[in-house]
Amino acid sequence: MSLALQIFSTVKDANAALQTAGARYMGGGTLVVRAANEGDVSVSRLVRVSDPGLSQIAVSGGKVRLGASVTMAAIDRHPELAALAPAARAVGGPAIRNMATVGGNLFAPAPYGDFAVALLALDATVVTEDGELPIETFLAGRDTSRAVVTAVSLSMPKTESFRFLKISRVKPKGISVLSIAALMQRTADGTVTSARIALGCMADRPMRAKAAERALLGCKLTPEEIAPALAAAGEGISPITDPIASARYRAEILPVHLGRLLLA
């Protein structure tokens, strides 16, 4: 079967092309091109947008706007995005980070999409041609979405309030066993006043650890006070099983690594 590539100058035209059977959007190509190369016959046409605005990064007044085609490498080297750099560096190796995009991470199935885990913890907003959606709402309906993502916007976190951790095996290197992102606000004495914790590989897409979030409120980040949050971390999870790790193993290590993240 032949594989056609269509490049459009506007998102509107690309959206129209994506309504036809067999059409898939291609950002960096790390997922869809691999699928086509591996024989996915459902893909017959790749659609791209050449609009340079999709590759722009804007930082102003504590707000960040990342175009959907912004790569992980671009985030990593941006001088004003140091807080996001650890999550960007968690995506593959250097070659993958030069191609992997913000938009692509939103659609990547577990165990991929580590940067989307960070965006979920940061309560990002996903921008499409049809409007804006909270990232949690977007992720829940992404399988049926046909709209092209144009950007993601978020408030710039303070480095000390945002934490990210990816756990992977030495061999094969790089693929997530688990990823965790946490955004916490604390008082001067260290008491947690708000918390958003996002998990990767605990479902087929990034998810919130809402029970753990609630358990952290009013606590200080000490081993004794975070214990209820660690015990609650497994509520509502449905870890994936793949060649990297079993669902049971992922569930068992979640409280261990969440504890390490919170106490770091």
Query: Tell me, what's the pLDDT at 1?
Result: 57
Residue 24 banded pLDDT, cuts 50, 70, 90: confident
DSSP 199-243: EESSSSS-EE-HHHHHHHTT-BSSHHHHHHHHHHTTTT------S
pLDDT per position as a tens digit, 47-88: 888 899 999 999 999 999 999 999 999 999 999 999 999 999
Nearest-angstrom CA–CA distance, 259 and 256: 5
Q: What are phi and psi of 180, to 5 degrees?
A: -135, 135
pLDDT, one tens digit per residue, over 119-166 is: 999 999 999 988 999 999 999 999 887 788 999 999 999 888 999 999
What's residue 23's pLDDT? 83
**Pairing outcome for strands 4-8 and 45-49:** parallel
Rounded distance between C-alpha atoms, residue 208 and residue 95, angstroms: 30
pLDDT given for residue 2 in this prediction: 75
Task: Assess contact for 28 and 99: CB atoms under 8 A.
Answer: yes
Q: Give the model's pLDDT for residue 38.
A: 81
Measure the N-to-C terminal CA separation of the chain; round to a whole number of Å: 51
Q: How many alpha carbons fall within 13 Å on the CB side of residue 180?
A: 26
Q: Is the pLDDT of residue 259 over 90?
A: yes
What's this model's pTM, rounded to 2 decimal places? 0.93
